[in-house]
Structure 1
Amino acid sequence: MTLSVARVESAVAAQVAARALDQVDDPAVHGVGREIDWAGPVDLPLSDEHTVQAACGIMHVHGRASGAPVALAVDYASATAGVLCAQGVLATLIARYRGMAVTGVRTSVSQAALLALAQYLAAATADDPPEPIEPGTSAFTCADGRRFELETLEPIRWLDFWTRLGAEPAAVGRGWRAFQQRFATATCPMPDALRAEVRRRPFAVVHGAADAAGVDLMGIRDEPDPPTTARPWTLAPFPDTVSTGLGPTADKPLSGVRVVESTRRVQGPMAGHILRLLGADVVRIEPPGGDPMRGIPPIAGTCSARFSALNAGKTVAEIDIKSAPGRRAVHELVAGADVFLHNWAPGKAAQLQLDADDLRRTSPGLVYAWSSGWGDAFGAASPVGTDFLVQAYTGLAAAVCPADEPPLPSLMTLTDVFGGLICAQGVLAALLDRIRTGQGGRVDSSLFSAATAIPRRARRVEWTPLHRPVRTEDGYLALGQDACPDRLARVLGLGASVGHHEIISRIGTKPTGWWLDRLRDSGVSAMPVCTDLRELAMDPRFGRAIAVDEHAFARTPWEFW
């Protein structure tokens, strides 16, 4: 299906949007106007994925683990913009059915990038002092060269694993804090003593220790192609037909739509956040006393900045869902809701008697959405479903690194964010289907399905030093796709036959701004690399894309017309 648009500047975003909309059983989606720009409201000459990643902070966050800005070798911001575009198209149709006079939607790759950095942007601009960022990765290498990611959510299992390998207790304790914080900080400065213990042993021995301790271990694939793929989301309509109406709206597409969510971390809250930005009233179920993540520094106002980034504006209902009265309270909330959303572990919904069949009896027109880790990729014996294990298994860890570097998952939460966006897209498709058919339904998505939906080549990309951020006298410069060596050599006053290293050395002799003027005057696109999210949030050129309250946050990424 060809994406028909008034203006599209990112081919990858257009392809992702088209594929997403091909999943929707409504031909009207192809008649909605849509635009996907590079810069959108950001007042910068952004011209490709590389310059967006540089300007909007992706290179900075992804590069924290290595200690310097690094580009993702996949078009992640463009892919995210494609999903936002598809969401906007579905929201436009929902709005039309509800009486709004809208014909199209506009979004941009830069807005997608800023949304993807929501928790990092919030943390950088919180009241607390900036967190110290030390380089370090969470991947390990065994004696036989096998590379792997490790995962456990329980400190006792972490201790057991390293004790079986003979690691010193002090290093194990220091390692746990870095390991636990890597989802938040995008870096993992693991003690050298722990890495040394792994390097002394073959993969089979380390894997055996992990199995014995109940820790999940996943080898990192060498190539980008996933072993299997999955549809980004699936919709199974319920058999009951109910009233189709969501009621009229003259405000936002989802105004008056009620969403009940019971979620944690990033993936589930991001899905609810998207629905709230589109106008839904989101009620968040939290345990008595509130979600413990509310108190995790850095604090903005009275709440964790990272937590607030994806949960501000949601109503809170404190419920003990493990108790019979709590489960009844959930049913009471769902009785007046249009959507129930969770990202519980496999089997928990059935154990709590809060699965789709349980809740649709309370609300027959309900859209029931489960955003899991692995979907059915591993059946009943799936490892814990977290971002970096998914990157390792699906080949995304290989795709984000160029061919001359070892495959390594990005510690920027790529699949958590993308998985939340995919879940929200499925919910919008289900709401549209309910309006058309009167049937609610079950939406399933996962980190695994999201990871396999991120476009990449079958083989890892080949990069030269000019594809990477180039060090200047006072910062870094990302060169555009038109920055070929011959052209750069002329601008820099070098001979035509000079190599990459001579070019990089010359750029390092002057400040970023000095080179920027000369490169642009010569028609070579270049972009200063953001190395401080706090400064980014204060930059007036981002004023129409970023707002600042108790912390900075990305403004709503759609414009409807």
Structure 2
Amino acid sequence: MTTSTPRAQVAPAPTVAHRVADRLLALVGDPGTATVPCRIDWAGPVDLPLRSEQAVQAACGIMQVHGRAAGRPTPLAVDYAGTVAGILAAQGVCAALLGRATGRDVARVRTSVGQAALFSVGQYLAAATAEGDEDDAPPAARREAPTDVGHRPFVSADGVSFELEALDAERWLGFWQRLGAPGAALSQGWRPFQQRFATATCLLPQALYRAVGAAPYAAIRTAAAQAGADVLPIGEDPGAGRPPPAWRLTPLDKATTGTPPAREAVPKPPGSGPAPLAGLRVVESTRRVQGPLAGHVLRLLGAQVVRVEPPGGDPMRGMPPMAGPTSARFRALNDGKQVVEADLTTGQGRRTVRELVAGADVFLHNWAPGKAARLGLDAADLSAVRPGLVHAWASGWGEALGQAPPVGTDFLVQAHSGLAAAVRPAHLPPAPSLMTLTDVLGGLLSAQAVLAGLLARERTGRAQRADSSLLSAAALVPRPRQRVRWGPWETPPATADGHLWLGETARAHPEQLGRVLGADAARCPDTAAARLRTGTSSAWAARFAEAGLTALPVGTDLARLAADPRFSAAVRHDAYARPLAPWEFL
């Protein structure tokens, strides 16, 4: 049976991705960027009819990861995948220019919003396809936490919604003990709180919510300060003030610079596309997600990356689930990098870093503010060792919150920047997504700042300091002036075996649902929802297509996604599943 293609299926261009790419390339300031055409598709190599941001989020895992805390797939109320695709496109263009500088024949670049979405859930994809169990919530916390509230912020007695960060158990205990929380709740809550960055869930004992709900925010701030933890109010305004610049390049003094080191031609492996950064060497000293992801991007573009880890290796290597002897999440960000162990608290460890940098083009770190200077490894120190070095700092806040800012982590940045308000609709209280949105954006933006620094070095011959932050990355996501309001079909309804994303026409004109679900269902969302639960997602998608409407099964199982042949050109699966490099250089 053949049916005509409905007008709603004609895909508009991924406007957000193009706008983000154009904005970033304008900041690069290199006229050569205009000579590298970049095509941004919706689906790319993913063999699915992806024609919008919501369709990409549904099919490629974003709705599943973001919705874990609520217990059901839920869209982000912003164009997140499109923003990631825009950064990837800008990276591809800059990398192509750098490749051309060494004679590589790169005519054009291609990426897609679908590949961007897969890249953004890379660590979750790895964890879902490795050994072990992702459910880190202790049974007692799971029993006590109600199932219908999803992720909700802490709220003080005087009504202030806030986000908490405590990077170790001692600070966690100190904070809650000062608020009088019961000891059993502290021990039950620590592990899910600590693991929320990795699992995108955080089921906490209700006793903790009661403890903060009994204290005014001033007392909560005092308790946090005394314990060494950090709290920040969650902003209601999705715009949240004037955004910081995406990155800042600072040319270093001529006295410490020279002609950029020559890059040797590196033959490409048979059957591979051009690796535009081949011949470049990056030294990174990073941890968690933001910094390692920046190094990962540069490695995928062809650079050799040497990772400096403490004696005994990065503790994150042992974080379950495992892919072989190493954490799957850690491998998703660090496979393919060389490793050198060095204790930076010692003179010998710092000499090791200087020796590595002496043969490098880039030094990348995401240390706390002031640490590079205290170690004698700041931009001026290292550019004296290696003329022409690009010294990149991937920070939390940059200079936006002064000399002693709160710890710069994903959820605090979401809370302060307005992103926590923008990602949720107006009928829900603002709360950070437990998917690490700004860590991913921050890592990508740091890599883009490095590429901009390398291009500036090519033009000027001067070493560059390239500073970016999670806060500046969060500001890249386009926001409405007011929080969005959702209709009854914006959250995918349940089916017999999963969930179904309804296309724009069906959501905007629910009366058309009657063509598939019956006239009574078109008039009553509850009746329609009940009827959808009687069939499978794929069966309903086929019936909607016969009626000329778009519907798409939601990817609710990342392990099944990785094994789906429709994703085989974008995802590789061996010891764990990982997205392939999201650029094509043609």
Aligned to 2:443: 420
1:11 offset after TM fit, Å? 0.5
Aligned to 2:26: 22
C-alpha separation in 1, matches of 2:92 and 2:210: 49
Q: Deviations over 1:477-498 (max 9, x none)?
A: 0112121212222232215971
Q: Does 1:287 align with 2:301?
A: no
Aligned to 1:111: 115
SS of 1:380's equivalent in the other structure is: coil
C-alpha separation in 1, matches of 2:534 and 2:458: 62
Aligned to 2:394: 371
* Aligned 1:237-316 pairs, distance under 5 A: 237-238=251-252, 239=254, 240-243=257-260, 245-249=262-266, 251=268, 252-316=275-339
Q: Does 1:543 align with 2:568?
A: yes
Cα distance, 1:557–1:8 mapped onto 2, change above 3 Å: farther
Cα distance, 1:41–1:204 mapped onto 2, change above 3 Å: same
C-alpha separation in 2, matches of 1:488 and 1:249: 57
Q: Point out the more displaced range, 240-249 or 208-217.
A: 240-249
Q: Does 1:519 align with 2:544?
A: yes
SS of 1:490's equivalent in the other structure is: helix
1:244 offset after TM fit, Å? 6.0
Verify the 8 A CA contact 1:138 1:190 in the aligned structure 2. no
Aligned to 1:4: none
Verify the 8 A CA contact 1:137 1:190 in the aligned structure 2. no
Q: Does 1:490 align with 2:515?
A: yes
Q: 2:478 aligns with which of 455, 468, 490?
A: 455
Q: Deviations over 1:416-467 (max 9, x none)?
A: 0000000000101111121222122000000011011111111111111211
1:397 offset after TM fit, Å? 0.2
Amino acid at match of 1:205: A
C-alpha separation in 1, matches of 2:215 and 2:28: 50
SS of 2:523's equivalent in the other structure is: coil
Q: Does 1:398 align with 2:421?
A: yes
C-alpha separation in 1, matches of 2:461 and 2:266: 18
C-alpha separation in 2, matches of 1:330 and 1:215: 31
1:302 offset after TM fit, Å? 0.9
C-alpha separation in 2, matches of 1:95 and 1:494: 59
Q: Does 1:151 align with 2:168?
A: no
Q: Deviations over 1:305-357 (max 9, x none)?
A: 11000000000000111111111111110000000000000111011111001
Verify the 8 A CA contact 1:38 1:110 in the aligned structure 2. yes
1:63 offset after TM fit, Å? 0.7
C-alpha separation in 2, matches of 1:131 and 1:67: 13
C-alpha separation in 2, matches of 1:138 and 1:74: 19
What is the alpha-carbon root mean square deviation over aligned residues? 1.6
What is the aligned residue count?
A: 555
Q: Where does structure 2 lack aligned partners over 5 or more consecutive residues?
A: 1-10, 269-274
Q: Deviations over 1:30-57 (max 9, x none)?
A: 2211111111111111111111111111
Aligned to 1:476: 499
TM-score of the superposed pair, with normalisation by structure 2: 0.92
C-alpha separation in 2, matches of 1:84 and 1:522: 36
Aligned to 2:250: 236
Q: Point out the more displaced range, 369-378 or 164-173.
A: 164-173
Cα distance, 1:130–1:162 mapped onto 2, change above 3 Å: closer
Q: 1:505 aligns with which of 522, 525, 530?
A: 530
Q: Does 1:200 align with 2:223?
A: no
C-alpha separation in 1, matches of 2:221 and 2:58: 38
* Aligned 1:157-172 pairs, distance under 5 A: 157-172=171-186
Verify the 8 A CA contact 2:134 2:199 in the aligned structure 1. no
Aligned to 1:329: 352
Verify the 8 A CA contact 2:17 2:84 in the aligned structure 1. yes
Verify the 8 A CA contact 2:136 2:195 in the aligned structure 1. no
Cα distance, 1:132–1:164 mapped onto 2, change above 3 Å: closer
1:102 offset after TM fit, Å? 1.2
Q: 2:488 aligns with which of 456, 462, 465?
A: 465
1:129 offset after TM fit, Å? 4.3
Cα distance, 1:175–1:146 mapped onto 2, change above 3 Å: same
1:128 offset after TM fit, Å? 2.5
Q: Where does structure 1 lack aligned partners over 5 or more consecutive residues?
A: 1-6
Aligned to 1:360: 383
Verify the 8 A CA contact 2:515 2:547 in the aligned structure 1. no
SS of 1:282's equivalent in the other structure is: strand
C-alpha separation in 1, matches of 2:266 and 2:514: 58
Q: Does 1:137 align with 2:160?
A: no
Q: 1:57 aligns with which of 54, 57, 61?
A: 61
C-alpha separation in 1, matches of 2:539 and 2:559: 23
Q: 2:35 aligns with which of 12, 24, 31?
A: 31
Q: Deviations over 1:109-132 (max 9, x none)?
A: 111111111111111111224546
